[in-house]
Each structure stands twice: as structure tokens, then as C-alpha cells.
């Protein structure tokens, strides 16, 4: 065993998949989660400690007991609409919570953290594909909290030598190919599970928000990256920090965008069923396209997505949703 890794938010969607990848890579994942959105059934590869990142005393106990080599930090609220209606919740948990976690790391002399960042820090793109040096101008409180967390990490690196890997990823999608874990949110806002649920007959339809964008079929384009590929990138980033002792910031994406209609067609092809669709107006703030230039991750981490095409990604998600019906 290579050692313990503290995984905040490890009972969530991306965190739990990363715990499986950690175990496969020879680490012991220690999940620390307040269980607001996490699932106990998703914690299969190491212990679960129920606690909040704002609880400094609890964090101190965990660091003392497990002596983790590093932290993988997924613990953040991530509903864009809710961040607009209740920004206090987001700044308290995401920003103040990260500060609390970093303070605990200082006290424990834990020097490496891999941070779950997002393309939402860029805001509306001025050019595509998005590169890491694109201006960061978030358009909602969720994006601002993630950008503030990135800045906090930079300052802690400079002042205290805590190294970070900020992974700005695009649209996480799919499920564990072995169907041991998958995506389950309440409420569900992600396109692929919404399309699958509509195709399964579990909801009346899936709504397309805007059909008049300047894209090949008029619907928004997004970069869908398989959750297992994201998990592997976290392991590679962790080992980069351990080997290089220097911080890094990279995009994680396939570099290929898929329209909403292409996603729906992929679900229909995988399932052999017709998806009920309702077309509606654009949502305020939705950019026509968001997709990554991820060559920096390829070069520095040796990372490359293994689940590159949308049908493969959708297929793993469909299998998971069918299994849990």
C-alpha cells in the first residue's frame, strides 16, 4: 500500500470514482464527506468519515489518525442556479470550507492537494477551444467560488509551500464501466442522466434549452469527459505533485464538443428507444459552446482520455441507470 489519501467529498459522483482509481493504484482512500449530497453506497474502497470541512477539530483528528500523504478535494456545492439564489451557502462551504481544509493541512504538515476545479471559472469564452490562459471571468457565484479557491491555493503555495494541482474539467459524464457506482443527483441537472431518465420513461421528456445557436444543429455544444478518465487524471496529478514538488493547473476534456441533439441521438442509439423531447427557449448565461484544449494535461501528466466517443460514454451511463432501476 502506497499510503493514505484523504478524499473530501469522496461519497459524491466524481469523488467515489476517484476512490476506486486510488485503490486500484495502490493507495488507501479515506473518504471525508458531510453526506449532504454523498451516498454511503458509493463508498466501497476505504473508510468513510462523516464530517464537514468547516469542522477544524474533526479534520485535525482525521489527519492525526490517518496521516494522509495528500488531499484530493472534491467537497463543494455545484448547482449553478442555487448558487445564484443562495450565494451565502456557496461562499461558506466552497471558499470558507477550503480555507478550513488548508488550515488543517498546515497544522498536519500535509503538503499536497489535488483540487476539483471547473471550466466555469472561464465564464463566456472569447475563443475556443479554451486554454488555461483564457481570461477567467465567471458569470455565477459557483464559478466565482471555484476561482477564489484557485487563488487561495496559489497564495498558500507561495506562503506555506502547499503544492496544488488545479484540474479544470468540463462536463463529467458516464459511469464506472463495471457498474459498481454511477451518477445520481437530487435534483438531477446533468444532461446525460436527464436524457436517460426520459428515455426510460422515468420523466415525461427532456427539454432542449435553445435551438437557434450558431452551432451545427442549433443546440449548445459541451465537452463530455468520462468520469473514469477524470479519476485517472487525479491519480496522475497526485503523483506529479509527489514527484515534481511544483504546482500545476490543467484543463481536462476531450477537445471535442457534442451538441445536445448529438447526446440525445447517442442515448437513442445505445438504448434502441426514442427519447421524448421538448424544445424551449435559451437559458440566460448559456454559452453556445464550451470545449477544452487539454494538451497541457497530455504533456505534463501523460493523461489521455480512454473513453473518447460519446456513444461509449453514454453506454456506461445507460448500463448504470438500467442496473439501478
Taking only the tens place, the pLDDT of each residue in 115-127 is: 999 999 999 999 9
Question: What is the mean pLDDT of the segment spanning 70-86?
Answer: 95
Domain of residue 244, CATH code: 3.40.50.720
Assigned domain for 156 exists = yes
pLDDT at 318 over 90: yes
Instruction: pLDDT band for 71, please (50, 70, 90 cuts).
Output: very high
Residues 200 and 78 in one domain: no
Angstrom CA distances, 78 to 24, 145, 293, stand at: 27, 10, 23
Q: Which residues of 239-262 are buried (b: 16+ CB within 10 A; e: fewer)?
A: bbbeeeeebbbbbbbbbbbbbbbb
With cell 498558500, the residue in question is: 156
Q: Is the pLDDT of residue 287 over 90?
A: no
For residue 286, pLDDT beyond 90: no
Cell (9 digits) for 305: 482520455
27 is a catalytic site residue: no
Q: Is residue 278 part of a domain?
A: yes
Farthest-apart Cα atoms in the chain, separation: 56
- Catalytic residue, from 27, 142, 169, 213: name it: 142
CB 180 within 8 A of CB 130: no
Per-residue pLDDT reduced to its tens digit, 128-147? 999 999 999 999 999 999 99
Q: Which pLDDT belongs to residue 325? A: 78
CB 191 within 8 A of CB 137: no
For the chain, percent of residues with pLDDT exceeding 70? 100
CB 254 within 8 A of CB 306: no
pLDDT over 90 at 297, yes or no:
yes
163/201 same-domain check: no
Q: Total structural domains in the chain?
A: 2
Q: Which pLDDT score is estimated for 284?
A: 82
- What integer pLDDT is reported at residue 308 of this predicted model? 84
Pair 115, 206 in one domain: no
Same domain assignment for residues 262 and 115? no
Tell me: do 217 and 235 sit in the same domain.
no
In a domain, 206, yes or no: yes
* CA-CA-CA-CA dihedral for 164, 161, 91, 286, to nearest 10: -30
Structural domain includes residue 96: yes
- Which pLDDT value is given to residue 261? 98
For residue 5, what are the β-bridge partners?
29, 70
Question: What letter does residue 132 receive in the DSSP assignment?
Answer: T
Q: How far apart are CA 205 and CA 182, in angstroms?
A: 22
Whether residue 286 sits in one domain with residue 242? no
Same domain, 247 and 151: yes
Q: What is the pLDDT of residue 324?
A: 86
Q: Let me know if residue 316 belongs to a domain.
A: yes
Residue 18 has pLDDT above 90, yes or no: yes
Residues 248, 230 share a domain? yes
**Residue reference for cell 452551432:** 215
Residues 195 and 264 grouped into a single domain: yes
The C-alpha cell that represents 216 in the structure block: 451545427
In a domain, 181, yes or no: no
Tell whether 32 and 153 lie within a shared domain: yes
Looking at the fold, whether 29 and 136 belong to one and the same domain comes out as yes
List, as one string, the DSSP characters of 208-254: EE-S-SSSTTSS-EE-EEEHHHHHHHHHHHHHHHHHH---EEEEES-
Q: How many Å is the Cα radius of gyration of the chain? A: 19
Average pLDDT over residues 306-320: 95
Cα–Cα distance, 304 to 100 (Å, whole number) = 33
Residues 4-17 have pLDDT tens digits of 999 999 999 999 99
Helices (H) then strands (E): counts for the chain: 11, 14
- How far apart, in whole angstroms, are the C-alpha atoms of residue 122 and residue 289? 12
- pLDDT of 285 > 90? The answer is no
Task: Give the domain extent around 54.
Answer: 3-173+224-252
If asked whether residues 239 and 206 sit together in one domain, one would say no
On whether residue 186 sits in a domain, the answer given is no
Give the mean pLDDT of 77-96.
96
CATH number for the domain spanning 205: value is 3.90.25.10
| Domain assignment present for 84 | yes
Amino acid at each position: 500500500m502506497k499510503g493514505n489519501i484523504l478524499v473530501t467529498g469522496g461519497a459524491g459522483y466524481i469523488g467515489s470514482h476517484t476512490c476506486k482509481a486510488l485503490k486500484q493504484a495502490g493507495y488507501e482512500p479515506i473518504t471525508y464527506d458531510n453526506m449532504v449530497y454523498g451516498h454511503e453506497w458509493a463508498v466501497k474502497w476505504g473508510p468513510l468519515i462523516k464530517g464537514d470541512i468547516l469542522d477544524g477539530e474533526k479534520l485535525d483528528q482525521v489527519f492525526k489518525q490517518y496521516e494522509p500523504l495528500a488531499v484530493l478535494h472534491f467537497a463543494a456545492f455545484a448547482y449553478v442556479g442555487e448558487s445564484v439564489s443562495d450565494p451565502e451557502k456557496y461562499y461558506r462551504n466552497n471558499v470558507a470550507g477550503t480555507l478550513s481544509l488548508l488550515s488543517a493541512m498546515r497544522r498536519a504538515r500535509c503538503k499536497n492537494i489535488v483540487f476539483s476545479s471547473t471550466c466555469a471559472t472561464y465564464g463566456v469564452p472569447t475563443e475556443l477551444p479554451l486554454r488555461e490562459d483564457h481570461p477567467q471571468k465567471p458569470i455565477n457565484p459557483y464559478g466565482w467560488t471555484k476561482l477564489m479557491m484557485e487563488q487561495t491555493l496559489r497564495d498558500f503555495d507561495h506562503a506555506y509551500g502547499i503544492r496544488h494541482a488545479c484540474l479544470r474539467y468540463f462536463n463529467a459524464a458516464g459511469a464506472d464501466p463495471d457498474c459498481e457506482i454511477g451518477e445520481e443527483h437530487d435534483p438531477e441537472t446533468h444532461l446525460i442522466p436527464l436524457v436517460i431518465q426520459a428515455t426510460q420513461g422515468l420523466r415525461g421528456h427532456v427539454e432542449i434549452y435553445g435551438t437557434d445557436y450558431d452551432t451545427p444543429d442549433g443546440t449548445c455544444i459541451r465537452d463530455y469527459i468520462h468520469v473514469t478518465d477524470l479519476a485517472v487524471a487525479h491519480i496522475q496529478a497526485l503523483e506529479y505533485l509527489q514527484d515534481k514538488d511544483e504546482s500545476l493547473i490543467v484543463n481536462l476534456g476531450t477537445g471535442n464538443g457534442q451538441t445536445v441533439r448529438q447526446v440525445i441521438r447517442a442515448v437513442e442509439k445505445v438504448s434502441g428507444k426514442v427519447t421524448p423531447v421538448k424544445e424551449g427557449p435559451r437559458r440566460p448565461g448559456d454559452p453556445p459552446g464550451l470545449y477544452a484544449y487539454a494538451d497541457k494535461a497530455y504533456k505534463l501528466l501523460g493523461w489521455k482520455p480512454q473513453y473518447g466517443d460519446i456513444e461509449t460514454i453514454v453506454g456506461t451511463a445507460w448500463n448504470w441507470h438500467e442496473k439501478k432501476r
